Amino acid sequence: MTHTVQIWVDADACPGVIKEILFKASKRTRVTMTLVANHAMPIPRIKWITLVQVPSGFDVADNEIVKRANPGDLVITGDIPLASEVIDKGAHALNPRGEFYTTENIKQRLNMRDFMDTLRSSGINTGGQASLSQNDRREFANQLDRFLQKWAKPAASSGE
Protein backbone atom coordinates (compact mmCIF):
# COMPACT_ATOMS: atom_id res chain seq x y z
CA MET A 1 0.00 0.00 0.00
CA THR A 2 1.38 3.41 -0.92
CA HIS A 3 1.19 6.37 1.42
CA THR A 4 -1.01 9.28 0.39
CA VAL A 5 0.81 12.55 0.97
CA GLN A 6 -0.68 14.80 3.62
CA ILE A 7 -0.02 18.44 4.40
CA TRP A 8 0.69 19.36 8.02
CA VAL A 9 0.54 23.05 8.98
CA ASP A 10 2.28 24.60 11.97
CA ALA A 11 -0.82 26.77 12.22
CA ASP A 12 -0.09 28.97 15.25
CA ALA A 13 2.65 30.85 13.39
CA CYS A 14 1.39 30.43 9.82
CA PRO A 15 0.31 33.75 8.26
CA GLY A 16 -3.38 33.99 7.33
CA VAL A 17 -2.63 34.65 3.66
CA ILE A 18 -0.59 31.43 3.51
CA LYS A 19 -3.42 29.47 5.15
CA GLU A 20 -5.78 30.83 2.48
CA ILE A 21 -3.44 29.61 -0.28
CA LEU A 22 -3.30 26.21 1.44
CA PHE A 23 -7.09 26.01 1.82
CA LYS A 24 -7.59 26.74 -1.89
CA ALA A 25 -4.93 24.20 -2.89
CA SER A 26 -6.41 21.50 -0.64
CA LYS A 27 -9.90 22.15 -1.97
CA ARG A 28 -8.68 22.08 -5.58
CA THR A 29 -6.49 18.96 -5.24
CA ARG A 30 -8.40 17.14 -2.47
CA VAL A 31 -5.18 16.60 -0.55
CA THR A 32 -5.68 15.96 3.15
CA MET A 33 -4.47 18.88 5.25
CA THR A 34 -4.22 19.08 9.02
CA LEU A 35 -3.59 22.32 10.86
CA VAL A 36 -2.02 21.86 14.28
CA ALA A 37 -2.43 24.72 16.76
CA ASN A 38 -2.74 25.36 20.46
CA HIS A 39 -5.90 27.44 20.01
CA ALA A 40 -9.12 27.14 18.03
CA MET A 41 -9.20 28.81 14.62
CA PRO A 42 -11.67 28.90 11.78
CA ILE A 43 -11.10 26.47 8.94
CA PRO A 44 -13.19 25.86 5.83
CA ARG A 45 -15.87 23.19 6.02
CA ILE A 46 -14.11 20.85 3.62
CA LYS A 47 -13.89 17.21 4.62
CA TRP A 48 -10.17 16.83 3.95
CA ILE A 49 -9.16 19.90 6.01
CA THR A 50 -9.01 19.38 9.78
CA LEU A 51 -7.71 21.16 12.86
CA VAL A 52 -5.94 19.38 15.69
CA GLN A 53 -5.91 21.53 18.79
CA VAL A 54 -3.15 20.72 21.25
CA PRO A 55 -2.59 22.10 24.76
CA SER A 56 -0.58 25.30 25.10
CA GLY A 57 3.06 24.85 25.90
CA PHE A 58 6.53 25.05 24.48
CA ASP A 59 6.80 22.98 21.27
CA VAL A 60 3.58 21.03 21.94
CA ALA A 61 2.25 21.66 18.40
CA ASP A 62 5.68 20.98 16.87
CA ASN A 63 5.96 17.69 18.74
CA GLU A 64 2.50 16.66 17.54
CA ILE A 65 3.45 17.37 13.92
CA VAL A 66 6.70 15.39 14.27
CA LYS A 67 4.77 12.49 15.81
CA ARG A 68 2.14 12.40 13.05
CA ALA A 69 4.10 13.30 9.90
CA ASN A 70 5.10 10.43 7.66
CA PRO A 71 7.85 10.16 5.06
CA GLY A 72 6.79 12.05 1.95
CA ASP A 73 4.35 14.35 3.77
CA LEU A 74 4.64 18.12 3.45
CA VAL A 75 5.03 20.26 6.57
CA ILE A 76 4.41 24.01 6.32
CA THR A 77 6.51 25.81 8.91
CA GLY A 78 8.91 28.66 9.45
CA ASP A 79 10.26 26.86 12.53
CA ILE A 80 13.75 25.64 11.63
CA PRO A 81 14.10 23.03 14.42
CA LEU A 82 10.68 21.58 13.48
CA ALA A 83 11.70 21.52 9.81
CA SER A 84 14.90 19.68 10.75
CA GLU A 85 13.00 17.02 12.71
CA VAL A 86 10.48 16.30 9.95
CA ILE A 87 13.22 16.19 7.30
CA ASP A 88 14.99 13.60 9.47
CA LYS A 89 11.76 11.55 9.28
CA GLY A 90 11.72 11.78 5.49
CA ALA A 91 9.03 14.45 5.19
CA HIS A 92 9.33 17.68 3.19
CA ALA A 93 9.33 21.13 4.83
CA LEU A 94 8.27 24.37 3.11
CA ASN A 95 8.39 27.77 4.78
CA PRO A 96 5.77 30.51 4.23
CA ARG A 97 8.17 32.37 1.92
CA GLY A 98 8.19 29.46 -0.51
CA GLU A 99 11.57 28.02 0.35
CA PHE A 100 12.02 24.29 0.89
CA TYR A 101 14.21 23.22 3.76
CA THR A 102 16.36 20.30 2.65
CA THR A 103 18.94 17.95 4.10
CA GLU A 104 21.48 20.14 2.27
CA ASN A 105 20.45 23.49 3.80
CA ILE A 106 18.86 22.71 7.18
CA LYS A 107 22.06 22.39 9.23
CA GLN A 108 23.28 25.78 8.00
CA ARG A 109 19.88 27.27 8.89
CA LEU A 110 20.02 25.79 12.38
CA ASN A 111 23.53 27.19 12.89
CA MET A 112 22.47 30.67 11.72
CA ARG A 113 19.39 30.56 13.94
CA ASP A 114 21.51 29.62 16.96
CA PHE A 115 24.03 32.37 16.12
CA MET A 116 21.27 35.00 15.90
CA ASP A 117 19.80 33.76 19.21
CA THR A 118 23.22 34.20 20.81
CA LEU A 119 23.49 37.75 19.47
CA ARG A 120 20.00 38.63 20.72
CA SER A 121 20.65 37.15 24.15
CA SER A 122 23.78 39.34 24.44
CA GLY A 123 21.63 42.43 23.88
CA ILE A 124 22.31 43.01 20.19
CA ASN A 125 19.26 44.08 18.19
CA THR A 126 19.28 41.86 15.11
CA GLY A 127 16.06 43.32 13.70
CA GLY A 128 13.29 41.01 12.67
CA GLN A 129 12.28 39.20 9.57
CA ALA A 130 10.67 41.35 6.89
CA SER A 131 6.93 40.98 6.50
CA LEU A 132 5.63 38.62 3.85
CA SER A 133 5.78 40.29 0.44
CA GLN A 134 3.58 39.69 -2.58
CA ASN A 135 6.56 37.94 -4.16
CA ASP A 136 6.90 35.65 -1.10
CA ARG A 137 3.22 34.70 -1.39
CA ARG A 138 3.57 33.99 -5.10
CA GLU A 139 6.70 31.90 -4.53
CA PHE A 140 4.95 29.92 -1.79
CA ALA A 141 1.94 29.23 -4.05
CA ASN A 142 4.21 28.21 -6.94
CA GLN A 143 6.31 25.84 -4.81
CA LEU A 144 3.19 24.33 -3.25
CA ASP A 145 1.65 23.74 -6.69
CA ARG A 146 4.85 22.12 -7.98
CA PHE A 147 5.01 19.84 -4.95
CA LEU A 148 1.35 18.83 -5.24
CA GLN A 149 1.65 18.13 -8.97
CA LYS A 150 4.63 15.89 -8.33
CA TRP A 151 3.66 14.06 -5.13
CA ALA A 152 0.00 14.42 -4.23
CA LYS A 153 -2.76 11.98 -4.91
CA PRO A 154 -6.24 13.27 -4.05
CA ALA A 155 -8.19 11.94 -1.11
CA ALA A 156 -11.18 9.79 -2.03
CA SER A 157 -13.96 12.02 -3.30
CA SER A 158 -17.50 11.83 -2.01
CA GLY A 159 -18.47 15.46 -1.72
CA GLU A 160 -17.05 18.27 0.36
Q: Using CB atoms within 10 A of its CB, is residue 40 exposed (0-12), middle (13-18) or buried (19+)? A: exposed
pLDDT digits (tens, 9 = 90+) for 75-102: 999 999 999 999 999 999 999 999 999 9
Coil, helix or strand for 33?
Answer: strand
Residue ranges covered by each domain of the chain: 7-151
Alpha carbons 89 and 68: distance in angstroms, whole number: 10
For the domain made up of 7-151, give the CATH fold.
Answer: Rossmann fold (3.40.50)
pTM: 0.84
The answer on pLDDT for 60 being more than 80 is yes
